[in-house]
């Protein structure tokens, strides 16, 4: 069992921990005096970035670009497209920092920008979110024996199953697993309560398991 | 949320979801799972899905260099203060307040994204200004004609009008004298010249009409061609009928 039992119940944070970014990381990007990001919480960095502090914004980029990339990549299924969308997301965030009235919501605000850009990208390009489960299964069966389905094929099949989820369930699963956002932030992004985000996440995971049980060869 | 799993106590619902999302089981939930093997099997199955998703994400990791390059590109693409308004212009200036220049930030952002349209808009505005400029300069009130105040007809004081009228009459009549006009003709010409001058019409434009009516030129230049003595004599002669 992968689940790790704890000695006592320690409530999991509703939001991921604050960023821990080294000074050298920020300085590497900005060539300016970088904030001591390891000691500066995310909200403080956001406030400084709202004041035009580029090193602070660079620290935010280094902290959030990776989870944002993974979340967007789930939509695009194309790393190059995801990279471009992440870059545009931060550029838009920089130019619209003044619109953010609650610095503590920067993370969900940033992800909402990124996911909207990803949706627009999919709409404009006319792409599907991924191959269907049936397509992937057929491809796997064509590869000699079903027992030889590789890990790569299993991953592709899993992605296809994820693509079949209702939008809200898929968003909640992706934002929690890939972006590691807290359920409160996921609720803000999905336009629902934290409790609804939890339920949608659970239903999405259960649906994925059902799809796996139905489609995956023995 | 009691729909998560049959028999799951409400107080353990968050623990249940967090166990799937983060892979950690609280003591209370562990006790429940110990007493419910089916629930444990369900949770393990859901955990396997989460592990598979994380593995898929990690396998798709493009590498550290990818993100170093990405962050560099992001920071390089940000507009500098010299490029345009930075968030400084629209930043919060106090608790619950915000500077009023967010529209400018948005406009500048739009300008950067659609330079062709933006420049077209700028050129259109410049064209309108150029077309409107001459009217503005020539406006009697010295401003834009449409907004200029109504100054009425009394642009010149009445005394000055009289002086202008007298001078015009004398000039026109003096110009007519060498042609030997009768007294009645002189009176008529005097009246006509007076009307022309007082009404503000351009005398030169009406000179052709006078030529047709009278058969001689009565341009103002005739006065200039007269010597001082001739002019004085003519004016003295004109004093008699007045």
Confidence of residue B149 (pLDDT cuts 50, 70, 90): very low
CA–CA separation, B125 and B127 (whole Å) = 5
Q: Which residues of A touch B30 (CB under 8 A)?
A: 5
Tens digit of each residue's pLDDT (9 = 90 or more) over A42-92? 999 999 999 999 999 999 999 999 999 999 998 888 899 999 999 999 999
User: Nearest CA to CA, how far is B119 from chain A (Å)?
Assistant: 20
- For residue A107, what are the contacts with CB-CB under 8 A and spacing of at least 6? A15, A42, A64, A181, A185
Q: Which of B27-31, B96-100, B147-151 has the highest mean pLDDT?
A: B27-31
Residue A211 corresponds to which tokens in the numbers above? Answer: 């799809």
User: Nearest CA to CA, how far is B86 from chain A (Å)?
Assistant: 6
Please state the ipTM of this predicted complex. 0.72
Tallying the residues shown for chain A, one arrives at 218
Instruction: Please give the model's pTM, rounded to 2 decimal places.
Output: 0.55
**What average pLDDT does the segment B226-236 reach?**
60
List the single residue in A2, A6, A176 with the smallest CB-CB distance to B47. A2
The chain B residue lying nearest A68, using CA atoms, is B67
Q: Report the 10 Å Cβ neighbour count for B129.
A: 10
* Of A195-209, B24-38, B95-109, B205-219, minimum mean pLDDT range: B205-219
Residue A167 corresponds to which tokens in the numbers above? Answer: 């939008």
Element of type H or E holding A95: helix A79-95
Q: Which residues pair with B94 in a beta bridge?
A: B97
Is A97 part of the contact surface with chain B (CB cutoff 8 Å)? yes
Q: What integer best gives the mean pLDDT of chain A?
A: 77
User: Nearest CA to CA, how far is B125 from chain A (Å)?
Assistant: 26
Record: contact B91-A52, CB cut-off 8 A: yes
Record: contact B75-A57, CB cut-off 8 A: yes
Residue B133 pLDDT:
73
CA–CA separation, A164 and B73 (whole Å) = 34
Distances (CA, A) of B1 to A188, A210, B224: 19, 20, 109
Record: contact A70-B91, CB cut-off 8 A: no
Confidence of residue B160 (pLDDT cuts 50, 70, 90): low
- For residue B71, what are the contacts with CB-CB under 8 A and spacing of at least 6? A29, A58, A61, A62, A65
The radius of gyration of chain B's CA atoms, rounded to the nearest angstrom, is 47
Tens digit of each residue's pLDDT (9 = 90 or more) over B13-64? 999 999 999 888 999 999 999 999 999 999 999 999 999 999 888 888 888 8
List the single residue in B16, B74, B92 with the smallest CB-CB distance to A91. B74
CA–CA separation, A201 and B49 (whole Å) = 12
């Amino acid at each position: 069992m992968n689940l790790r039992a704890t000695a006592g119940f320690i409530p999991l944070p509703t939001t991921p921990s604050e960023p821990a970014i080294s000074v050298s990381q920020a300085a590497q990007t900005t060539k300016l005096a970088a904030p001591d990001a390891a000691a500066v919480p995310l909200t403080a960095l956001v406030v400084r970035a709202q004041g035009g502090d580029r090193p602070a914004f660079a620290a935010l980029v280094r902290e959030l670009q990776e989870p944002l990339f993974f979340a967007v990549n789930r939509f695009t299924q194309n790393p190059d497209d995801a990279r471009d969308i992440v870059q545009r997301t931060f550029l838009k965030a920089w130019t619209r920092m003044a619109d953010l009235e609650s610095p503590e919501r920067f993370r969900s605000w940033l992800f909402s920008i990124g996911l909207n850009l990803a949706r627009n990208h999919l709409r404009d390009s006319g792409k599907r979110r991924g191959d269907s489960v049936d397509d992937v299964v057929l491809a796997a069966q064509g590869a000699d024996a079903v027992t030889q389905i590789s890990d790569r094929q299993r991953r592709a099949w899993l992605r296809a199953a994820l693509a079949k989820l209702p939008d809200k369930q898929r968003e909640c699963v992706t934002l929690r697993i890939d972006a590691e956002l807290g359920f409160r932030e996921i609720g803000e992004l999905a336009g629902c309560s934290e409790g609804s985000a939890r339920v949608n996440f659970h239903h999405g995971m259960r649906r994925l398991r059902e799809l796996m049980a139905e489609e995956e060869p023995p | 949320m009691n729909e998560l799993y049959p028999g799951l106590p409400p107080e353990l619902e968050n623990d249940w979801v967090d166990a799937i999302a983060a892979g950690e089981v609280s003591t209370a939930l562990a006790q429940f799972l110990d007493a419910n093997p089916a629930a444990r099997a369900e949770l393990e199955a859901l955990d396997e899905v989460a592990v598979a998703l994380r593995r898929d994400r990690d396998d798709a990791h493009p590498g550290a260099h990818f993100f170093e390059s990405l962050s560099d590109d992001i920071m390089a693409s940000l507009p500098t203060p010299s490029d345009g308004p930075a968030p400084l212009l629209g930043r919060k200036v106090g608790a619950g307040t915000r500077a009023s220049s967010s529209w400018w930030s948005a406009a500048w952002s739009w300008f950067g994204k659609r330079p062709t349209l933006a420049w077209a808009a700028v050129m259109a505005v410049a064209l309108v200004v150029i077309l409107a400029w001459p009217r503005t300069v020539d406006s009697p009130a010295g401003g834009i004609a449409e907004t200029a105040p109504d100054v009425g007809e009394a642009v010149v004081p009445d005394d000055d009008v009289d002086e202008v009228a007298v001078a015009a009459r004398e000039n026109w009549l003096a110009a007519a004298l060498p042609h030997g006009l009768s007294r009645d003709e002189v009176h008529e010409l005097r009246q006509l010249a007076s009307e022309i001058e007082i009404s503000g019409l351009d005398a030169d434009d009406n000179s052709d009409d006078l030529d047709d009516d009278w058969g001689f030129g009565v341009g103002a230049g005739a006065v200039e061609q007269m010597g001082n003595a001739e002019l004085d004599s003519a004016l003295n002669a004109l004093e008699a009928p007045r």
